[in-house]
Amino acid sequence: MFYLRYVRSELLRRRSRTIVTVLGLALGVALVVVIGSLTRGLDKAQAAALNPLSSIGTDLTVTLSPTQDTSGGFGPGGGFGGSGRELLQANSSVITDLSKLGKPGAKFVHDFFLPGTQLTFPQSQVKQIAALDGVGAASGGLMLTAVHQEGTVPKIVAKIRAGGQQIQVNRRLQPPTAAEFAQMRACLAKSGIQFGQSGSGAGGGGGFRAGGGQGGGLGRAPGGDRSAFAKCLPARLRRLRATITTPEQTLRQVVDPPQTNITSTTYSIGGVDLAHPAIGVVTPALVVRGHYLTREGQALLAASYASREKLKVGSTLDLNGTDFTVVGLVRPPLGGQTADVYVPLGQLQTLASQKGAVNVALVRADSGTSVSAVRQEIKNAFPNADVASAQQVADRISGSLVDAANLSHRLGVALAALAALTAFLIAVLLTLSSVGKRVRELGTLKAIGWTQRLVVRQVVGESLFQGLVGGVLGVVIGVVAAAVIGAVGPTLTASSSTGGGNGFFGLGQLTARTVTDQIALTAPVAATVVVLAFLLAVVGGLIAGAAGGLRAARLRPADALRQVE
Amino acid sequence: MGDVLYEVQGVARFFQRGTVTVRALDGVDLVLEAGESVALEGPSGSGKTTLLQLLGALDRPSEGHVLFEGRDLARLPDRELAELRLQTFGFVFQHFNLIPTLTALDNVVAGLAPQGVDDDEARSRALAVLEEVGLVDRASHLPAHLSGGEQQRVAIARALVKEPRVILADEPTGNLDSQTGADVIGLLSALATRHGVTVVVATHDMSLAGHARRRLAMRDGRILTQAETPEPQAQPVA
């Protein structure tokens, strides 16, 4: 009892020192709890957002990106091998004129579908992939960028006839050399034409005018044999006689489209192979409301898109005259093949005039260990294909979530350790400082018969109590702070872009598909973190007390008394 | 008078102050008997406090032996020295050395608690001793709320509560005015006589030294003279 009264008296009567120590410990513990909780929250957010492929049952995605090599073939067979030219061709519909949509002045609503930067390839090649060794399942998908346009058909459509021009080339040429001149003379002589000495007319000095015929230089009478002359001209002079005619073509071009009230909105649309629901650009597991696609005429919407466009389950979408009923909302993973709208693959192929074509193959390996082997196998079979693993897809994701996650990974543990160390140091320093001021008191205790063990126990008891109070207070502060963070829910963004970065022929912006997800950060408090932080404060108090107490108690009583006298 | 309690044989105590060796005690021989009342007198630095600390097992000699009832204190382990300080010796300091956060009562209990005495009994015994020193009504006060004389009386109560066989008092009146000092030393002497306790008091106040039956004059770490006072002057208990 006496010892407890002593502890209580010490803590209560040295109140300011006790409060500072307890608050220091509490702050450290609270920081550990908050940082631990934030790290956990980020891990959870990451698990959801940065693990895009596993959530769609896929180990690898196979796409065909255009290359800069314009010689690459994309023949009728549709082999893997893209090119910028083909990309331009594939996306050309959006730069054709709008006059096809109706008479000038008529209202129109139209959706243009573009394959973006992922070139299409025949669906049959997905089957070839599925047949490769180690491949468990494969399905195709068609991921398109859609431009929804509404407005009035522009009135001014210019027809420009181009080509048909004749181009005459005039160049100052070197006069014939002596040898060429001799050769010409000999040639003309054979034809019975005398090529005289310097003539009397214009063009003296041995020169002559091609195609002219008249003028000096020819020894025979004016009006000589032109064909003979042409034949005898040196080859390099003969070539210049050709006249270049450019091919004729008619260009129809919208002139200044914004004069009409056309509005364009861009969204992404994915064609889902209904035959493979377990592996696809969207899977039943990602449905957050409603149900998965079961037949044609149904559509799934990304929850964020639905919210933005004020659409819900039961809404109807009209895509160029084809109605789709929204049957579910999904939360698509980032970084993978994501879209705002998902419709059955066959219908999208029809709408986009891409019959039998897909632009992504989703591949699941037989086992997790064979993923790299399968990847290599696909690359061997289709050298130009872009085969991305889950990690590569995850690496494409950027945004504040990734920054925060990176920060958390790099600094989370360090910050928590720093906070813990700070709290620990506060406890140690304050205890040592306190003990340092109590040397006389502790020396007196030894002088009146207290053993070293009793003195240390007394100081440790005080520190332990401070550790307990600081730990409890810190846990309370930490949990409340974590709850506040959870309630405020700061949002982090995670974005994934596919294509568009190099902006082929100005299409970059149009064809790029960037999916951004807003993820509310939570700070779920883990019991282990709380216990760890609490123990840290208590153990910190114990160690600090033991160190300080031992330091004082090991002094001889006479030395302890002498230090202050 | 009684049995030999202390035998101090050729004791020296050196302290190293940088490169200088300070000889606080330099060849002290002394025999103290049980029940004696002894005053160590001399100016500051004469070695009084150092000798008291050696007698009270607060320190170990650099040379020589301090025998307490035939046991060489220099050879006893710390635990046994602590046991002696707890059971056998009682200290009174010039600066009182009370625990500032404890009440007068608990300061007295602090001298008893390590003996493993039940808390209630300890408090009861402490109150009894406080009554002896005339402070029972100040038992719940903190040292800061007591006068210097009262604080020293609490310190005397703390030394007496364990019923020691020796009380070692180092300048017990050094921080008190002369009247209060005289009261305190009278109280100490009377209680020592009543409890049959051997008392060794270090003081530079010649008049207070007169309360002791035996006076040892110290200079420069040595005992110069010894004198006997025929009739120890006991003061009535306050």
What band does A495 get if pLDDT is binned at 50, 70 and 90? low
A388 versus B165: the higher-pLDDT residue is B165
Contacts A459 to B, Cβ<8 Å? none
Contact call for B114 and A454, based on CB within 8 A? yes
Residue A498 has pLDDT above 90, yes or no: no
DSSP track, A310-327: T--TT-EEEETTEEEEEE
Q: Between A and B, how many residue pairs show a Cβ–Cβ distance under 8 A?
A: 87
What band does A74 get if pLDDT is binned at 50, 70 and 90? very low
Residue B7 has pLDDT above 90, yes or no: yes
The CA distance from B24 to B42, in Å, is 13
Contacts B59 to A, Cβ<8 Å? 556-559
| Backbone CA torsion sign across A181, A183, A188, A194 | positive
Contacts A14 to B, Cβ<8 Å? 101
The minimal CB distance from A447 to the residues B58, B101, B162 is found for B58
Contacts A9 to B, Cβ<8 Å? 101-102, 106
Q: Write the pLDDT tens digit of every residue in A439-453.
A: 888 889 988 889 888
Residue B97 has pLDDT above 60, yes or no: yes
Paired sense of beta strands A166-167 and A298-302, if any: unpaired
Give the nearest chain B residue to A451 (CA atoms): B82
Contact call for B110 and A9, based on CB within 8 A? no
A259 versus A166: the higher-pLDDT residue is A166
What's the whole-number average pLDDT of chain B? 87
Q: Write the pLDDT tens digit of every residue in B16-63.
A: 888 888 889 998 999 999 888 899 988 888 999 999 999 999 999 999
The CA distance from A444 to A559, in Å, is 11
Residue B14 has pLDDT above 50, yes or no: yes
Residue A90 has pLDDT above 80, yes or no: no
Residue A200 has pLDDT above 50, yes or no: no
Residue A243: what pLDDT? 64
Q: Do residues A24 and A423 make contact, with C-beta atoms less than 8 angstroms apart?
A: yes
Count CB neighbours of A126 within 10 A: 22
For the ranges A95-109, A214-228, A494-508, B39-53, the lowest mean pLDDT is seen at A494-508
The CA distance from A536 to B164, in Å, is 44
Which of A222-226, A545-549, B108-112 is modeled with the greatest confidence? B108-112
Spatial CA neighbour of A267 closest among A299, A297, A291, A296: A299
What's the whole-number average pLDDT of chain A? 74
Contact call for A556 and B115, based on CB within 8 A? no
- Provide the shortest C-alpha distance from residue B14 to chain A (in Å): 13
Mean pLDDT of A405-413: 65
Residue B126 has pLDDT above 90, yes or no: yes
CB of B119 within 8 Å of a chain A CB? The answer is yes
**Total residue length of chain B:** 238
Q: Write the pLDDT tens digit of every residue in A208-228.
A: 444 444 444 444 444 556 777
CB of B101 within 8 Å of a chain A CB? The answer is yes
Q: Write the pLDDT tens digit of every residue in A354-374.
A: 888 888 888 888 776 677 788
Mutate to test the interface with B, among A13, A439, A448 (most CBs of B within 10 A): A448
Residue B141 has pLDDT above 90, yes or no: yes
Q: Write the pLDDT tens digit of every residue in A140-166.
A: 888 888 888 888 776 665 667 777 777
DSSP track, B135-161: -GGGTT--GGGS-HHHHHHHHHHHHHT
What band does A256 get if pLDDT is binned at 50, 70 and 90? low
Question: For residue B186, what are its two tokens?
Answer: 């009278």
The minimal CB distance from B86 to the residues A441, A449, A561 is found for A449
DSSP track, A223-272: S--HHHHHHHS-HHHHGGG--EEPPPEEEEEES-GGGS--EEEEEEEEEE
Chain A residues at the B interface, defined by Cβ less than 8 Å, are 1-3, 5-6, 9-10, 12-14, 440-441, 444-452, 454, 556-559, 561, 565
Contacts B115 to A, Cβ<8 Å? 449
Q: Write the pLDDT tens digit of every residue in A528-546.
A: 888 888 888 888 788 878 8
Give the predicted TM-score (pTM) of the model. 0.58
A551 versus A256: the higher-pLDDT residue is A551
Alpha helices in A91-175 (DSSP H): 124-130
Q: Which amino acid is at A316?
A: T
Q: Do residues A104 and A80 make contact, with C-beta atoms less than 8 angstroms apart?
A: no
